[in-house]
Structure 1
Amino acid sequence: MDCCGLLTAQKEPVPLKSVEVELQVRDHVATVVSTLNYENKEDKPLEAVFVFPLPGDAAVCHFSATIGQTQIVAEVKKKKQAREEYDDALSSGQQAFLLEESDQSPDIFSLSVGSLPPGESASIRLEYVTELAVQADDGLRFCLPAVLNPRYQPQGSEGASVQVTSVPASLVPYSLSFSARVSSPRPVSKVESNCSLDPLQYLNTEQTQATVKLAAGHKFDRDVEVLIYYKDAHQPTAVVEAGQASAKPGSLMGDPVVMLSLYPEFPQDVMSSLASCGEFVFLLDRSGSMDCPMNNSKRDQTRIGSARDTLLLLLKSLPMGCYFNIYSFGSEYEHIFPKSVEYSEKTMEEALKKVEKMDADLGGTEILEPLQHIHSQPCIPNQPRQLFVFTDGEVCNTKEVISLVKKNSGSHRCFSFGIGEGASSALINGLAKEGGGHAQFITGADRMQPKVMQSLRFSLQPAVEDISVTWDLPKGVSVTVLSPPITAIFQGQRSLVYAQLSGQVGASSAAAEGCVMVKYSQIYLWSLLSPVCRLTVHRLAARTLIRSLETENDEDRGEPDEGVKKKVVELSVQSGVSCAFTSFIAVNKDNSEVVQGPLVRRDVPTSSEYISESKLSVEFKVFGQDCGSFPSLYCFSVGEVQVAVPKQPPRDPLLQLVSLQKASGCWLLDPALAAALGKTSEEVENTKPSAVNQEVWATILALIWLRGFKVDAQEEWELLAMKAASWLRAQNAPCVTECVEAGNALLGCNMQKDALGL
């Protein structure tokens, strides 16, 4: 059967024909313009409903529709008022369009296209602005989400879950065209993607402007991820954006707004001093969806399997003297120890035995309860809490989860990892942002281990505190900082600071450049302010304020009070940026012809990385009456829906070696180590210099093997190798040079003692 997804009565696909996306990147922020083209091929008027993902921190700022020669621009109104206007328009035969954010998660929007007459086409234009997240390798990540997996509804939570009509990713019936233009004060060094790109085209000799496109023939069957790299990535920048001429002076949209971008690089002596303390809490998703493969083109490892391997590396890399615990969750949660325990050989081995047995067998995705339990535990003196969260991020109580992390942000940092296509960017980015940590996404052919180990390294590096921000502005100009204050700066963590400039900010004072000085640990950063006439920064500043206000909860009810709601709605309407309490509404009041006949609802399918076999059906509604339902149709090969688990491949040699390391950092000389090194026990034992004990010899061999054969995976084993070298130095062993030479001869390497950290 070739047809797929939700079909009309004539077995025709639903009417979304194509998606066109233009991306404009300015330094660390992006403006995205999406055009959705619909066509009604039926003989009845349609209401098409398309539920789709957007980046979690996106600020939707424009929504319009073109039907024939008529363009209708939407207005931002209170959600209830917008819904009433939409329903009124449909009942009177007018065309109407409604765009609104999900009540549960800020990264899900639904678009309703009402009264599309038979044979008619409609073009919907959607514009949003967003901050680009910085990856651990200094790349800026833009993701155009295509995959929207159904969000899990926790037991007892209020409100209906977002209804998503999903089809297997390869069967999405609409195409995508995508182009990007990048400009920055710094040269663009490269642009990479998980999809095929045409070659990067530079637009000037300084290479500060460039364009790139998706290669022809791309089906919108997976998230489009674009990574942008600049030269001098750590250079601070500040951009001033002129206010809107039509807006009232003194208002957010009427005044200039400045965006300060800080992404510092600390001196090497600061970076080399890794902490030897901390309470490390690992929270692992064991819901059913974690049994999906990491990569659709590779069936050899599941998400839960990769997570087990990652926990092995994490546990081997922890410093002696720290504390740790491991939680896992699904519909319920478990923890390995009643409370965090001191890291030792005994506790590490006990934890690893339990990790090896962990499967994706705990049902749903209820992350809130284990987080509440973690935060209810008293902190350990002089052991700063570091929380690592691994999830495929498909929950619908995202705002509640992020609010909890924000409430406890003074006592911990949170590092989050979104696994697989469709992980909620609102959840993953929100956890890291409110928890002062770092967010990482593991998609496509990405390996989880190097990204997680980068974050562990960040967590072990010292924070810079006692930060001061000084504004030196022209006379008559004052500044109001809109972003929460910066209390600490970590290596690899980018901060964007938005501020409103008020007073005598005319053309003359704009020419007199201002200066921002950020001082921390005797390092000074400064940037000159130069005006830019766009509204991207204003809208992102408004979004920052809106998000901050939305999480100011009424203590008794756990939700924003009416005064806060009113302030948020006013700011949303003034800035044209949607929020949880407003929607975009457009009604074609010029349409003289009333649309005749019953209105049939069609849900446009969204790509899903996995589809459950059971209970997926779609309701049809005509004039609000239930006309029954029929199951959505899918194409699956039998092998994809079999419950049988394929045989696991033999263990990676690197993980085999790592699994043998002791908590102290050393290895034992035994047959298992010899096998991991690819040698016999006799070869390993007979070549040992006589004056050296077995553990020192075994540890030197392991270090030589890592440096000699696994240099491409250095990020994964670097911390445990540093621990091993530290253990070796503490032994004051004789004949280390002789050991290294003998080890090189045995393994066929040429490592120097210094390269091993000895």
Structure 2
Amino acid sequence: MIPTALTIDPTLTQPLDEPAFGRLETSQGRLPLAALSVNARISGLQVATEIQQTFVNNTGAAIEATYIFPLPDRAAVYAFRMQVQGRIVDGVIDERGRAREVYEQAIAAGQRAAIAEEDRPGVFTLRVGNLVPGDHAVITLRTVGPLPIEDGEVTWAFPLVVAPRYIPGAPLGGEQAGTGLAADTDRVPDASRISPPVLLPGFASPVRLALAVTVDGAGLPVSNLRASLHEVFAAPEAGGWRLELRPGERLDRDFILRWTLGDAALHSAAVWAPDADGEGATAVLTIVPPVGAAAQGRPRDVVLVLDRSGSMGGWKMVAARRAAARIIDTLGARDRFAVLAFDNTVESPPSLGAQLATASDRNRFRAVEYLAGLQERGGTDLTRPLALATRMLAGDDDRDRVLVLVTDGQVGNEDEILRDHGPRLGDIRVFTLGIDKAVNAGFLRRLAALGGGACELVESEERLDEVMAKIHRRIATPVLVEVSVAGDGLDLATQAPHRLPAVFAGAPLVVHARWHGQPRPGATLELRGRLPAGTEYHQRVRLDPAPPAAALAQSWARAHIRDLEDQYAARTADPSRLEQAIVAVSRRHQVLSRFTAFVAVDREVVNPGGNPRTVTQPVERPAGWSQPRFDAMPMEHARRGEPKLVGAISMSSKRSAAPPRSATLSAPPPPGARAPAPASPPRSPSPPPPRQESPEGATVSAIPYLARLGAIVRDLERAVDTAAAQLPIARLIELLEDLRTVGLDALATALAPLVDRLRGSLGADDLLALLKEAVAALRKLVEDKRSPPPPPGKRKDFWR
């Protein structure tokens, strides 16, 4: 059954470069999506959300409404309901092909039906068919998911718009997968499913948005509550807070809420909950980094990959340049680095080239100077810069290898990128910095996870400084590595994430796993790892019952499915076996995946003969995007013979072919467009400290190294156990390496025996006594080196 397209009112057609005006109507009526309601309840680090989408048929004929929309990528969609004219139908989950057959058969039979499908982590397509004139359909989805916490700060981000994405590859002819603006290509075969039409500027928002959230700290105090992109009304409620979005807000940016949870009360904890049928149980372990643990510094190779494509225009380009410059400024003389700026091509600073260069003052200045002049252009072709970066970082096990990607992540070929580059990222720590008000967070998190790294999101320039402090810490060595979890009856094959990443300072790690049967009373989980100075770390965590509404099984299923989908995209195992495993987990726990779908069918026949007209709901242009054209999408992938933006909406045939067209990768800004913000002036590197002639003849001053040693001594004095001693001892080891590198051999020779003794004392029973002796010896060393004896024949106070 191929639905026919709505006829377009030609009086509403507007050229791309001209502002639009008029009403949000066609000759067939207004847009179908009338309202969006989001109601979230947050308890501790878990959020349960109910989303209601209201569709109204104001036309004179039966329609099928199609809506491409986002949800948090970590959320598990576990319930689906359709309510039309007082009739309620709960959706069921099934393999995606069978669910589509059920839906298409119901539409052909004239029955109302709805289907929800996941196209990307965080990107979904909803179709509601056979809505007859006057129908009001309310579609309800329920989700549950974890919340990230870093340095005591919790973030809840709810996306409200699917931004245009770069679609590489040659257009495919024949039947298209969806009704979006982009044609399917050989590299993104479902591009038409992730490219909704976009409203032209100047129209009032066609959708009534209501958003409310209740924040409960689950026993811990909630403070410093703030929304960064929207105005909200907040009021205390039952030990927590209730916030509501100001009426009239548009669906053009993510809703981001942050708050501080507790203080020193956070600690490693584990909870479990039985399945509803009693056949198993789910355990969740939250690993809080050990107090005092930190990184033993090793030389680093850092490749910075910066997105300069057209979608990065305006404040995003400015923020990206600043972020890249800040990262470069964190590097030291022992490190090496490279800068790759990309759109459809890849460029590097001319004075450095596309190779690793030592992070000297001169080279860092050249890189920052180059970054200051970058402007946006072209498309987001991420494949080539990633390939070049992984080649540059291959093969040196004596150095920390780090890849930092700064982008908005608006690409359509996520699976291709993960498949092609995932196997090469296993030994490279990947950090992704997403800059946008509607960032592709799902893809950036998946990419970071392949390298055991982390993803940070920046939705405004004000947020940048805060995030960069975290990036600096994360580029350093993790505080806990080689992490493993064990427990009597715990099925490690179901552990999610499958590959446990390193644990970083201030960022707890959450591990989900399934239990064979149910744990015995008083059961514990065993956590093992290695601390910065090389010592084994061991901790037992008691397993407590979870609150009744925790939905641990659904949270585990979403995390496990995400692991399996990444393996499927990377082709690291048999695809058919992985697909079967994903479908089995999805159906068992009623959690949506890319291989399943929720479908709801009302058996009442309301449109005999079926054949409704298809209306694809347009979305808002993301806030901050400089122009309404699709900067992130090459025009050869737009559909020939169909309107791109028609007045306020685009309505198209569901299955039209797209013959190849000549490429237009970017276009000049329209008349009156705002000029890009001026580049920030390069920041000159700090001048080196005064140098003096050392006994070895090198022009290196020992003064800053002695200052570092003094700070380490003070940290050692405060250490009360092995975990707290890890950080200062690791820093002492790094200091010894630095002394030998710069030629301060006399100081290094004096320090080496003390370092060896401290490193060997980490497992000793009398650690505190040994620390006290070592502190005294180190303090004496600092004093002796700072106050050398006066030269022979000269008065001690000559220079006073």
Question: TM-score, normalization: structure 1?
Answer: 0.75
Which of 433, 436, 449 aligns to 1:420? It is: 436
- Correspondence for 1:606: 619
Q: Is the 8 A contact 1:276 1:319 kept in 2?
A: no
1:37 has 2:69 as partner? no
Contact 2:268 2:288 in 1 (8 A): yes
2:121 aligns with 106
Q: Does 1:153 align with 2:167?
A: yes
1:467–1:85 distance in 2 versus 1, CA, 3 Å: closer
1:456-488: CA deviation from partner (whole Å, max 9, x where unpaired):
2221244323445343x6xxx555552225363
Indicate which of 523, 537, 544 corresponds to 1:514: 523
Work out whether residues 19 and 36 of structure 1, in 8 Å CA contact, stay in contact via their aligned partners in 2.
yes
- SS of alignment partner, residue 374 of structure 2: coil
In the alignment, structure 1 residue 186 sits paired with structure 2 residue 220: yes
What letter corresponds to residue 603 of structure 1 in structure 2? T
Report the Cα offset of residue 357 of structure 1.
Answer: 3.0
In structure 2, do the counterparts of structure 1 residues 451 and 554 end up closer, same or farther at CA, with 3 Å as the change threshold? closer
* Structure 2 counterparts to residues 438-477 of structure 1, below 5 A: 438-471=454-487
Q: Does 1:84 align with 2:101?
A: yes
Amino acid in structure 2 at the alignment position of 1:240: W
Whole-Å separation in 1 of the counterparts to 2:97 and 2:549: 31
Q: How far, CA to CA, are the matches of 2:671 and 2:127 in structure 1?
A: 33
Cα separation, 2, equivalents of 1:427 and 1:397:
10
1:348-747 equivalences in 2 (<5 Å): 348-361=364-377, 363-377=378-392, 378-404=394-420, 406-471=422-487, 479-480=491-492, 482-483=495-496, 484-486=498-500, 488-503=502-517, 509=520, 512-520=521-529, 521=531, 522=537, 524=539, 526-534=541-549, 536-553=551-568, 561-589=575-603, 591-595=604-608, 599-609=612-622, 610=625, 611-613=627-629, 616-617=644-645, 620=651, 642=672, 645=675, 648=678, 658-662=683-687, 664=688
Q: For residues 4 and 126 of structure 1, what CA distance do their matches in structure 2 show? A: 33
Following TM superposition, by how much is the alpha carbon of 1:585 offset from its aligned partner in structure 2, in angstroms? 1.2
How far apart are residue 116 of structure 1 and its match?
0.6
Q: Are the aligned partners of 2:268 and 2:286 in contact in 1 as well (CA < 8 Å)? A: yes
Q: Does 1:47 align with 2:64?
A: yes
Q: Distance in 2 between matches of 1:158 and 1:44?
A: 34
Report the alpha carbon displacement of residue 43 of structure 1 after superposing the two structures with TM.
1.3
CA distance change for structure 1 residues 497 and 608 in 2, over 3 Å: closer, same or farther? same
> By how many angstroms is 1:218 displaced?
3.6
Measure the CA separation in 2 of the matches of 1:646 and 1:468: 48
The answer for the alignment partner of 2:27 in structure 1 is 9
3-state secondary structure, aligned to 1:608: coil
* Structure 1 residue 16, shift from structure 2 partner: 1.1
* Separation of aligned partners in 1, 2:435 and 2:478: 27
In 1: Cα distance, 2:108 partner to 2:434 partner: 42
Matched, 1:93 2:110: yes
Q: Which residue of 2 aligns with 1:225?
A: 256
Cα distance in 2 for partners of 1:529, 1:117 equals 52
Q: CA separation in 2, counterparts of 1:7 and 1:56?
A: 33
Summarize deviations over 1:322-354 as a string: whole Å, max 9, x none: 010011111222344332122223432332343
Q: How many residues align?
A: 622
**Cα drift, residue 78 of structure 1:** 1.7
From 119, 123, 131, the counterpart of 1:116: 131
What is the distance in 2 between the residues matched to 1:127 and 1:282?
39
Code of the residue aligned with 1:440 in structure 2: it is: E
In structure 2, the residue matched to 1:141 is 155
Are the counterparts in 2 of residues 240 and 532 from structure 1 also a CA contact under 8 Å? Answer: no
Amino acid paired to 1:358: L
Would you say 1:275 and 2:297 are equivalent positions?
yes
SS of the equivalent of 1:281 reads strand
Cα contact 2:274–2:518 (8 A) shared by 1:
no
Q: Is the 8 A contact 2:116 2:127 kept in 1?
A: yes
Q: Distance in 2 between matches of 1:167 and 1:647?
A: 25
CA change 1:606–1:554 in 2 (3 A) is closer
In the alignment, what sits opposite 1:737? none
Instruction: Determine which of 244, 253, 271 is the counterpart of 2:276.
Output: 244
Q: 1:420 to 1:175 in 2, by over 3 A?
A: same
Q: Which amino acid aligns with 1:212?
A: L
Structure 2 distance, partners of 1:598, 1:485, is 48
CA contact (8 A) 1:5 1:166 kept: no
Distance 1:222 1:443 in 2: 9
Q: Secondary structure at the match of 1:541?
A: helix
Gap change, CA 1:355 and 1:487, over 3 Å in 2: closer
Question: Which SS does the other structure have where 2:30 is aligned?
Answer: coil
- SS of the aligned residue for 2:567 comes to coil
* Farther off after superposition, 337-346 or 105-114: 337-346
In the alignment, structure 1 residue 260 sits paired with structure 2 residue 285: yes
Larger relative contact order (CA 8 Å, sep ≥ 6): 2
Q: Take 1:314 and 1:45, find their aligned partners in 2: how far apart are those partners? A: 56
* Cα distance change of structure 1 residues 334 and 624 upon mapping to structure 2, 3 Å threshold: closer
Q: CA deviation at 1:201?
A: 1.5
Task: Please report how far the alpha carbon of residue 113 of structure 1 lies from its aligned counterpart in structure 2 after TM superposition.
Answer: 1.0
Answering whether residue 228 of structure 2 is matched by residue 197 of structure 1, we say no
Q: 1:150 to 1:5 in 2, by over 3 A?
A: farther
Deviation per residue, 1:637-675 (Å, 9 max, x gap)? x997545625738x5xxx66x42535x5789xxxxxxxx
In structure 1, the residue matched to 2:347 is: 334
Letter in 2 for 1:201: P
**Alpha carbons of structure 1 residues 624 and 541: separation in structure 2 relative to 1, 3 Å:** closer
Q: Does structure 1 conserve the Cα–Cα contact (< 8 Å) formed by 2:419 and 2:569?
A: no
1:176 equivalent in structure 2:
209
- After superposition, the C-alpha distances for 1:246-298 in whole angstroms (9 at most, x for unaligned) are xxx5xxxx41211111232531xx44x6625201110000111112x22xxxx
Question: Identity, % of aligned pairs?
Answer: 22
Q: In structure 2, what is the equivalent of residue 212 of structure 1? A: 243
The C-alpha deviation readout for 1:193-243, integer Å capped at 9, x for no partner, is 122222242414xxxx54333244444342211113210363223222221
User: SS where residue 238 of structure 1 aligns?
Assistant: strand
1:449 and 1:526, CA in 2 relative to 1: closer, same or farther beyond 3 A? same
Q: What's 1:688 paired with? A: none
- Give the letter aligned to residue 8 of structure 1: T
CA contact (8 A) 2:522 2:542 kept: no
Rounded Cα–Cα distance in structure 1 between residues aligned with 2:54 and 2:83:
10
Amino acid at match of 2:330: S
The 1:562/1:200 distance shift into structure 2, 3 A limit, reads same
Counterpart secondary structure, 1:154: coil
Distance 1:392 1:6 in 2: 30
Q: Distance in 2 between matches of 1:340 and 1:661?
A: 22
Secondary structure of 1:279's counterpart equals strand
* SS in structure 2 at match of 1:532: coil
User: What per-residue deviation string (whole Å, max 9, x for no partner) do you get for residues 142-200 of structure 1?
Assistant: 11111221121123514041231122688431122222233424332343212222224
Supply the distance in 1 between the matched residues of 2:65 and 2:581 (Cα, whole angstroms): 33
How far, CA to CA, are the matches of 1:586 and 1:419 in structure 2? 37
**Structure 2 residue aligned with 1:685:** none
Structure-1 separation of matches of 2:147 and 2:118:
20
**Residue number in structure 2 paired with 1:308:** 321
| Change in CA separation of 1:405 and 1:489 when aligned onto 2, cut-off 3 Å | farther
Runs of 5+ in structure 2 lacking a partner?
A: 1-18, 171-186, 532-536, 631-637, 639-643, 658-667, 692-698, 703-734, 745-800
Shift of 1:26: 3.0
Q: Structure 2 vs 1, CA of residues 374 and 536 (structure 1 numbering), >3 Å: closer, same or farther?
A: same
In 2, the alpha carbon distance for the partners of 1:328 and 1:41 equals: 48
Shift of the 525–558 alpha-carbon distance from structure 1 to 2, 3 Å rule, reads closer
Q: For residue 45 of structure 1, report the CA deviation from its aligned partner.
A: 1.1
Counterparts in 2 of 1:315 and 1:158: CA distance versus 1, 3 Å: closer
